[in-house]
Amino acid sequence: HACNDNYIYSEDMFISAIGVSNLVIVQTTDALLVANKDTVQDVKKIVDYLKRNDRNEYKQHQEVFRPWGKYNVIDSGKNYLVRCITVKPGEKFVAQMHHHRAEHWIVLSGTARVTKGEQTYMVSENESTFIPPNTIHALENPGMTPLKLIEIQSGTYLGEDDIIRLEQRSGFSKEWTNERS
């Protein structure tokens, strides 16, 4: 209302403005930018600030795209991380394990083929499974529609360097090679 010469964009939130002019307002899952149009090119200074201060916003986005699909960070704290994961039809996570975290997967839609140790089983909508630490596991979407699930990671250490990716050599056996990411 009573606004002119503004650029307002939002991915998923209603934005209202009253009595403002010459602004750029951009909302994404990661951040909200409000700037005068004459200074919007200074956004690089904000990025430099985030980098200089080793801010998590510089290192990791809320929404992350991978060849197998994407995930959104919903919440995180000292010993937990909650993500909404979408796996494309026919795609999968490579086999992996973690020393310091457990994972709980709750299927929201679609069907998951879960491999946990030597066991492979299906997890359907409104069902869940638990992956304890030090357990080789993999996740696959065998369906024709996207697989959507909530992943809850919990443990003493949740860093990316606790993901040990394993390459299968011949069948799902105990022969694995260790590749750290």
Which pLDDT tens digit goes with each residue over 109-144?
A: 999 999 999 999 999 999 999 999 999 999 999 999
Ranges of CATH 2.60.120.10 domains, the chain: 62-180
Q: Is the pLDDT of residue 169 over 60?
A: no
Fold of 62-180: Jelly Rolls (2.60.120)
Asked whether 135 and 117 are in contact (CB, 8 A), the reply is yes
Asked whether 45 and 28 are in contact (CB, 8 A), the reply is no
Tell me what pLDDT residue 1 has: 81
Segment 64-97, tens digit of pLDDT: 889 999 999 999 999 999 999 999 999 998 899 9
Name residue, tokens 């697989």: 147
Q: Is the pLDDT of residue 53 over 50?
A: yes
Chain-centroid distance of CA 72 in Å reads: 4
